[in-house]
Amino acid sequence: MEPKIVSPLPETWLTGPVQNEPAPVEYRGLRWAFIGSQGLRAGWSILLGCFFFFLLQSVIGYIFFRLHLIGKSDSFTATWMFFGESIDFLALLWAVALMALLEGRKLHAYNLAGPKRTLHFLGGSIAGFAALSALVGALAWGGWLHFGPMALSGAAIFKFGAAWGGVFLMVGCFEEGAFRGYLQYTLSRGINFWWALAVISVVCADLVLRTKGNGTWGVYGAALLGLVPCLMLHWKKTEGNSFWQAAWVTSTLFGYIHTSNGGENWIGIFAAALIGFVFCVSIRVTGSAWWAIGCHTAWDWAESYFYGTADSGMVAQGHYLTTSVTGNALWSGGADGPEGSLLVLPVILGLLLLLALYAWKKATAARAQKAALAV
């Protein structure tokens, strides 16, 4: 039975949405190991969901390959990226749909419900474009980035703009649907500090034993950054602390998957984990992942298409503006692009501040409304 989720009260954004939880059901024996008070236990749900995803990813990828929609090319073109990202998105969509069916939930239950979804998506899109523009502007002001002539003109501007818009919408839906949707929701209903620490320890151990370079210190930094706050929440038994334990895990994992990108440095990896946490906060503030989807989509679109900067060492074919970087890679981002610059960190913190201000505004309005009703 799916617990009914009520729109989050602004003043309880830290503890999360108010839920009418069903009465706990105690199971014994083997059934207890698989079934909890909210149905299939979170760990088994994630393992089964991952199994469905990778199976469907292989099947859809094979079909697309046989239809010549994808090939062995790794060029950063809109067409190749669209079909490549479509494989992941469709695999995730069907995997989550299967899990929703097995768990007796609706598809949008995985952090895709909530109020004002369209407005939050548009607001996130504006915030994402503005944040990346602020980062590029700071790099240009500091002399680490220089603009060249426009690479497109006429109808090609709109053609490639729309094409890359479709690509990055697919990227945003897949990555946010996976990390801030299915994983965040599922972990939030069944994780504590010790399980979170165990998962993150395995991730870090894998990097130590298997991966060298590629910004692994960014993952270690994200893991350490969340250690003390999550431990304090656990000790104080804060209501809703499982959400933040899950956010620690999903944000660290988000940085972890970016280590496979050849052009990343440690700053870019740490920034990926940090913005993953900001996207988790947006779920608390807005009630869904749609703000995060919009912000993610617009950030990538502005970075790769509009400004034509490098993204994880790759430059999109068919971008609007042209840029070049000079100076110390610590500030310019080097081959990584703007996300590899130290200046990305205050920009991400700016997004976090924006969400905090929005939460404060909602709380103030709610208190004023409550006071008016009490008169």
Q: How far apart are CA 225 and CA 222, in angstroms?
A: 5
Pure H helices in 177-327: 184-188, 193-210, 216-236, 241-257, 266-286, 290-301
Q: What pLDDT does residue 291 have?
A: 98
* Inter-helix orientation angle 216-236/241-257, to 10°: 170
Q: Whole domain around residue 140: which residue ranges?
A: 4-374
Q: How far apart are CA 260 and CA 99, in angstroms?
A: 27
Q: How far apart are CA 323 and CA 308, in angstroms?
A: 6
Selection from 192, 211, 215 nearest residue 203 by Cα: 211
Q: What pLDDT does residue 34 have?
A: 67
Q: How far apart are CA 39 and CA 154, in angstroms?
A: 56
Predicted structure pTM score: 0.89
Q: What pLDDT does residue 168 have?
A: 97
The total number of structural domains that make up the chain: 1
Judged by DSSP in three states, 63 sits in helix
Q: How far apart are CA 274 and CA 345, in angstroms?
A: 8
What single letter denotes the amino acid at residue 263? G
Q: What pLDDT does residue 274 have?
A: 97
Mean pLDDT per 10-residue segment, the chain (375 residues): 40 46 52 70 92 97 90 77 94 97 93 94 98 97 94 93 96 97 95 96 92 82 96 91 96 93 87 97 96 98 95 87 92 91 97 96 84 74
What single letter denotes the amino acid at residue 55? L
Q: What pLDDT does residue 312 have?
A: 79
Q: What pLDDT does residue 39 have?
A: 75
Selection from 14, 63, 19, 84 nearest residue 314 by Cα: 84
Inter-residue contact 290 to 124 (CB < 8 Å):
yes
